[in-house]
């Protein structure tokens, strides 16, 4: 079972899309999304199945056979590789490996130097939505590159048919990286971009809207120059950010959100972000 750093593999130089593989339909959905991203960016697709060493010790004293876990991981990777090839990648573009360690920790480490990390999110209902994929939540903080979270249940078909991306921002300076990434993604896809800002403030809506639009226009001004071909529209609305963003996600191929880098160790993802991840009707990209 491999535990080598990805940087020691000469096959993985150049652009790279990293995908977490777990053998589930959501995992395969992530593979298909990652394969299209790799094809679009002429990148290597790096498929990784992580075997948690804590699982090998087992619960209640049960010890799992490492070779059986290795075999299960290789089987999952074979299915993932087949899905990637079906999505149009050449065999030499696809690299897969089974790595020992906690999935979130492994993917976070391997995300260093990657252009994109893609992971699945299993669709749940009711109170279970409060506990959405711990791996996805952990990676939202720990990933060292943009992260796309996708659910097979929420988006069962191929994405890209609406030719439309949205980015939710708060109109402050730290939104600049998020805006820049969203514009680059829209440009690569030939898609239009909606820049959405949701205000909770009530009363004097016109004045609030004008202030928000001016702030967004200032952020967009240099980016429009570097991405002149992207059709950009600004949308300012009022209400609950979760409701507004989830509704918007049903109209686009990808919803892009900014995540501030945590100042302290531990989970930093806020309630709004968690709720949007749990209910989104499209893949969600998290950009620091």
The pLDDT tens digits for 190-226 are 999 999 999 876 656 677 788 888 999 999 999 999 9
Contact in structure between 179 and 165 (CB atoms under 8 Å): no
- 156 domain-assigned: no
* 27-65: pLDDT as tens digits: 999 999 999 999 999 999 999 999 886 665 555 555 567
Domain contains 159: no
Of 118, 150, 182, the domain-final residue: 150
pTM: 0.87
pLDDT, tens digit (0-9, with 9 covering 90-100), for 268-282: 556 788 889 888 999
- Judge whether 1 lies within some domain: no
Query: How many domains does the structure of the chain reveal?
Result: 2
Average pLDDT over residues 141-161: 84
What CATH number does residue 42 fall under?
A: 3.40.50.620
Do 236 and 258 belong together in one domain? yes
Which H helix or E strand runs over 141? helix 134-142
Residues of the domain holding 222: 164-287
Query: Is residue 215 classed exposed, middle or buried when 0-12, 13-18 and 19+ CB atoms within 10 A define those classes?
Result: middle
Lookup: tokens for 23: 């053998």
Of 150, 182, 210, the residue that ends a domain is 150
Within-domain flag for 208? yes
């Amino acid at each position: 079972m491999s535990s080598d750093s990805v940087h020691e593999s000469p096959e993985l130089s150049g652009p790279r899309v990293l995908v977490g593989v777990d053998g589930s339909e959501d995992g395969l959905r992530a593979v298909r999304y990652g394969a299209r991203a790799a094809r679009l960016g002429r990148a290597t697709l790096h498929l990784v199945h992580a075997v948690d060493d804590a699982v090998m010790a087992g619960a209640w004293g049960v010890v799992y056979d490492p070779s059986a876990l290795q075999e299960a991981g290789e089987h999952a990777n074979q299915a993932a590789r087949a899905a990637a090839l079906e999505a149009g990648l050449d065999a030499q573009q696809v690299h897969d490996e089974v790595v020992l360690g906690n999935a979130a920790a492994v993917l976070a480490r391997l995300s260093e130097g990657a252009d994109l990390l893609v992971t699945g999110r299993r669709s749940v209902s009711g109170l279970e939505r409060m506990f959405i994929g711990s791996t996805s939540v952990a990676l939202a903080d720990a990933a060292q590159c943009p992260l796309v979270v996708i659910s097979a249940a929420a988006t069962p078909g191929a994405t890209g048919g609406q030719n439309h991306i949205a980015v939710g921002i708060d109109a402050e300076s730290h939104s600049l990286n998020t805006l820049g990434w969203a514009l680059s993604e829209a440009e690569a896809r030939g898609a239009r971009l909606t820049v959405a800002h949701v205000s909770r403030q009530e009363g004097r809506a016109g004045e609030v809207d004008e202030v928000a639009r001016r702030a967004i226009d200032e952020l967009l001004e240099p980016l429009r120059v570097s991405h002149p071909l992207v059709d950009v529209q600004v949308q300012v609305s009022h209400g609950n950010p979760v409701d507004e963003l989830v509704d918007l996600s049903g109209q686009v191929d990808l919803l892009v959100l900014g995540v501030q880098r945590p100042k302290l160790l531990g989970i930093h993802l806020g309630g709004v972000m968690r709720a949007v991840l749990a209910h989104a009707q499209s893949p969600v990209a998290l950009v620091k």
